[in-house]
Structure formats: C-alpha cells, structure tokens
C-alpha cells in the first residue's frame, strides 16, 4: 500500500473517530427513551451501521485493507472527540 493512501486512511480514521464520538453522544440521549427491547435494538443497529460505514469507507479508499494503526487512529479520534464534547457541554 502506498504511503499517501495510508496517510489518507489515518486522517480519515481519526476524523471518523471524532464523528463517531459525536454520534454516540446523540444516540445516548435516545437510549433512555422507550422500552428495553427498542433500546437494545437501536443500540445494536447503531453500532452495526457505524462499523459497516467505516469498513465501506476503508474499502473505497484502500480496497478494505485494515491495519492496527488505523484502529489506534480511530480510538484517538474518539477520545479527542469525547474530550472536546465534554469541554463544550
């Protein structure tokens, strides 16, 4: 894999981590509404949709090749997004 493609995927993974943190905060509001079955169903659907979207993005950029440092970049983006959302709220 080319170095420029790896750099693009690292940046996109980081940004997707921030986006996932924001979407998770929005979904957390709806988690306490409704019956238990609906809460579990919505949570599972939310996680599966976000995982599929991330791997679809990976497939578009670098043909679905996944490395551990992409996951690390995603986690760092999530942690930064969490920190920024706590700071503004």
pLDDT given at position 7: 93
pLDDT at 1 over 90: no
pTM of the model: 0.86
- Give the mean pLDDT of 63-80: 92
Q: Is the dihedral of CA 14, 19, 21, 24 positive or negative?
A: negative
Q: Tell me how crowded residue 71 is: count the other CB atoms within 10 A of its CB.
A: 13
- Give the mean pLDDT of 51-59: 94
Residue (of 24, 31, 68) closest to 47 by Cα position: 24
Residue (of 9, 7, 6, 1) closest to 74 by Cα position: 9
Compute and round to an integer the Cα radius of gyration of the chain: 15
pLDDT at 40 over 70: yes
Percentage of the chain surpassing pLDDT 90?
57
What DSSP state is assigned to residue 63? T
pLDDT at 10 over 80: yes
């Amino acid at each position: 894999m080319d170095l420029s493609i790896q750099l693009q995927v690292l940046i996109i993974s980081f940004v997707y981590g921030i986006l996932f943190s924001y979407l998770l905060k929005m979904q957390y509001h709806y988690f306490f509404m409704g019956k238990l079955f609906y809460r579990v169903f919505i949570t599972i659907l939310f996680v599966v949709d976000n995982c599929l979207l991330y791997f679809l993005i990976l497939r578009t950029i670098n043909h679905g090749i996944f490395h551990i440092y992409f996951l690390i970049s995603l986690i760092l983006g999530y942690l930064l997004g969490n920190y920024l959302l706590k700071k503004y709220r």
